[in-house]
Amino acid sequence: MGTILITVGTISSITGILAFLLSLANRTIANYGEVNITINDDKEYVVDGGDTLLSSLIENKIFIPSACGGKGSCGYCKVKVIEGGGPVLPTELGYLTDDDVKNNVRLSCQCKVKENIKIEIPEELFSVKEYDANVDYIKDVTPTIKHLRFKLPDDEEINFKPGQYIQLKAPKYKGNSEEVYRAYSIASSPFDTKHIELIIGYVPNGICTTYVHQFLNEKDNVVFNGPYGDFYYHDNDREMVMVGVGTGMAPILAILNYMKAENINRKATFYFGARHLEDLFFMDELENLQQELPNFRFIPCLSRATEEDGWDGEQGRVTDSLKKYLENGGNKEAYLCGSPRMIDSVVDILTNKGIPKDLIYYDKFE
Ligand SMILES: Cc1cc2nc3c(=O)[nH]c(=O)nc-3n(C[C@H](O)[C@H](O)[C@H](O)COP(=O)(O)OP(=O)(O)OC[C@H]3O[C@@H](n4cnc5c(N)ncnc54)[C@H](O)[C@@H]3O)c2cc1C
Ligand code: FES
C-alpha cells in the first residue's frame, strides 16, 4: 500500500512540475514581441506576435474571406506569404493545390505571425468593411429558415456583386463562449445599398444559427463584414442554369433581383430543391419573377412530398429535374448553391450535358 502511495505521489509531482514548466515555456518562449506585417510591399502594420495571420489582419480591419470563421475547414482564407510564416502545416495541405504550395500560398487562419512577415492580398480586400447594422425584420419563412433584413447606418452603404456573401458575427451568448464569424449569401438586390437581406437556416447546436434563431431580435444591433466571394453574376448572353437547395436560394435570388432591376431577359431556369411542402418559401416572389422576366422559368422540386401535401409539381431531387428538363449542349453557364454533395452531383450532370467546368460557378455551403 505504502509503495503504491509513494508511486502515485511521485507521478503526480512529476506531472505537476511538467505542467508548470510547460506554462512557463509558453509564457516566455511564446512571447514573440511586436512584429511587422507588410502587405503588397506597400502597407505596414505592427502587431503582437503569436496570433494567427487572419486574426492579426482582422485586428487591423483587414478582412480576409474566412467562411468557417478560422476553423481551418473552408479553405477560403488563402494569402500569399512572400517572407516569414514558417513551414506549411499539415492542417493546411488538404486545402492547398500543388500550385498554391509552390507559390507560398497559405491558410491565414493556420499560419501564425511569429516573425516579420510579408504578404500579398488582392487590392479589393482593402475595400471590405465591417458594418454595425440594425435588424429591420426577422420573418420565419419555413419551420427552420428565417429571412432577415439589416439596415445600415445612415452614413454607410454597401456595394456588392449579386451572388456575393457577408460574414456575420455571432457574439458570446449563454452557451457560447467565443465570438465567431459565419458566411451568409446576400439575397437582396445590389441596387439597395442601404440594406442587406439574408436567408438563414437553423443548424442544431450551430453557434451562429442558434444566435440568429434563438437570440437575435428585431431592432438589435448586428455586426458583419464583407462583401466577399467570386460567385457572382456574369454578364453575357449564355443561357443560365441555376440550381439551389434550401438556403442556397439566397444568392440566386440576388442574381434574379438584379436581372429584374436591370431588365435582363436572358433565358434562365432555376431548379430549386426542398424536402416537404412546408420547406418551400418565396414562392410568390419567384412566381412574380417569372411574370417579370419572360425567359425565366422556376422549377421547384420536392424530395419527400407526402400525400397530405397534395403536391402536383416535380418530385425527387433537383438532380432528377435537371436530368429530365435540361437539354444537351447549347451555349450555357451554371450557378449552383447548396451542400458540397449536391454540388458535386450537379456538376457531374452538367458536364455530361455539355456545360464546360469553367462555366459552372458555385458556392458550397457546409
Ligand atoms: C460562401 C458561403 C455562403 C453561405 N451562405 C449561407 C446562407 O445564405 N444561408 C445559410 O443558412 N448558410 C449559409 N452558409 C453556411 C453558414 O456559413 C454556416 O456554416 C451555417 O449557418 C452553420 O453555422 P453555425 O455557426 O450555426 O454552425 P457551426 O457552429 O459552424 O457548426 C456546428 C456543427 O454543425 C455542422 N454543420 C454546419 N453547417 C451545417 C449544415 N448546414 N448542415 C448540417 N450540419 C452542419 C458543423 O460541421 C458542426 O459540426 C454559407 C456558407 C458559405 C461557405
Ligand atoms: S478561415 Fe476557413 S480555412 Fe481558414
Looking up residue 95, the CATH number of its domain turns out to be: 3.10.20.30
Domain-located, residue 17: no
Domain-located, residue 104: yes
Proximal ligand: closest to the CA of 109? 2
113: Cβ contacts below 8 Å, ≥ 6 apart: 32, 35, 37, 47, 49, 50, 51, 52, 53, 56, 84, 85
Ligand 1 center to 171 CA (angstroms): 16
Please compute Rg for the chain using Cα positions. 24
pLDDT at res. 74: 87
pLDDT at res. 252: 98
Identify whether residues 249 and 359 lie together within a single domain.
yes
Residue nearest to atom 9 of ligand 1 (CA): 200
Ligand 2 atom nearest to 71, measured from its CA:
2
At 172, give phi and psi (nearest 5°). -65, 140
pLDDT at res. 256: 98
Ligand 2 atom nearest to 74, measured from its CA:
2
Identify whether residues 99 and 182 lie together within a single domain.
no
Per-residue pLDDT tens for 301-310? 999 999 888 9
Domain-located, residue 208: yes
| Among candidate residues 196, 228, 260, the one where a domain is terminated | 228
Ligand 1 atom nearest to 211, measured from its CA:
26
Question: Would you tell me how many other CB atoms lie within 10 Å of the CB of residue 160?
Answer: 19
Q: Which of 47-61, 65-79, 94-108, 217-231 has the lowest mean pLDDT?
A: 65-79
Ligand 1 atom nearest to 170, measured from its CA:
25
CATH number for position 338: 3.40.50.80
Identify whether residues 102 and 132 lie together within a single domain.
no
The larger pLDDT score, comparing residue 27 to residue 178, is at: 178
| Among candidate residues 208, 228, 248, the one where a domain is terminated | 228
* Mutational test site, ligand 2, from 88, 100, 105, 107, max ligand atoms within 8 Å of CB: 107
CATH number for position 158: 2.40.30.10
Identify whether residues 85 and 133 lie together within a single domain.
no
Domain-located, residue 19: no
Ligand 2 center to 57 CA (angstroms): 14
Q: Which three cell numbers stand for residue 232?
A: 457572382
Give the containing element (helix H, strand E) for 354.
none
Ligand 2 center to 92 CA (angstroms): 9
Identify whether residues 159 and 212 lie together within a single domain.
yes
Question: Would you tell me how many other CB atoms lie within 10 Å of the CB of residue 116?
Answer: 15
Q: Of 52, 46, 47, 50, whose CA–CA distance to 81 is shortest?
A: 52
Per-residue pLDDT tens for 173-227? 999 998 889 999 999 999 999 999 999 999 999 999 999 999 999 999 999 999 9
Per-residue pLDDT tens for 127-141? 899 999 999 999 999
State the average pLDDT for the chain. 92
Identify whether residues 288 and 356 lie together within a single domain.
yes
Residue nearest to atom 3 of ligand 2 (CA): 72
Proximal ligand: closest to the CA of 78? 2
Domain-located, residue 27: no
Ligand 1 center to 69 CA (angstroms): 10
Domain-located, residue 1: no
pLDDT over 90, % of the chain: 84
| Among candidate residues 94, 125, 156, the one where a domain is terminated | 125
**Model pTM score:** 0.88
Ligand 2 center to 13 CA (angstroms): 40
CA–CA separation, 349 and 353 (whole Å) = 6
DSSP state of 342: H
Domain-located, residue 26: no
At 221, give phi and psi (nearest 5°). -90, 145
Identify whether residues 248 and 336 lie together within a single domain.
yes
Residue range of the domain that includes 330: 239-364
Whether the predicted pLDDT of 110 surpasses 80 = yes
Whether the predicted pLDDT of 354 surpasses 70 = yes
* Mutational test site, ligand 1, from 181, 184, 207, 281, max ligand atoms within 8 Å of CB: 184
Domain-located, residue 81: yes
Ligand 2 center to 259 CA (angstroms): 32
Identify whether residues 358 and 251 lie together within a single domain.
yes
Identify whether residues 256 and 359 lie together within a single domain.
yes
Identify whether residues 250 and 348 lie together within a single domain.
yes
Identify whether residues 292 and 272 lie together within a single domain.
yes
Question: Would you tell me how many other CB atoms lie within 10 Å of the CB of residue 185?
Answer: 29
Q: Which three cell numbers stand for residue 195?
A: 440594406
Identify whether residues 276 and 288 lie together within a single domain.
yes
Domain count within the chain: 3
Indicate if ligand 1 lies below 6 Å from the C-beta of 213.
Answer: no
Indicate if ligand 1 lies below 6 Å from the C-beta of 248.
Answer: no
Q: Which three cell numbers stand for residue 53?
A: 495571420
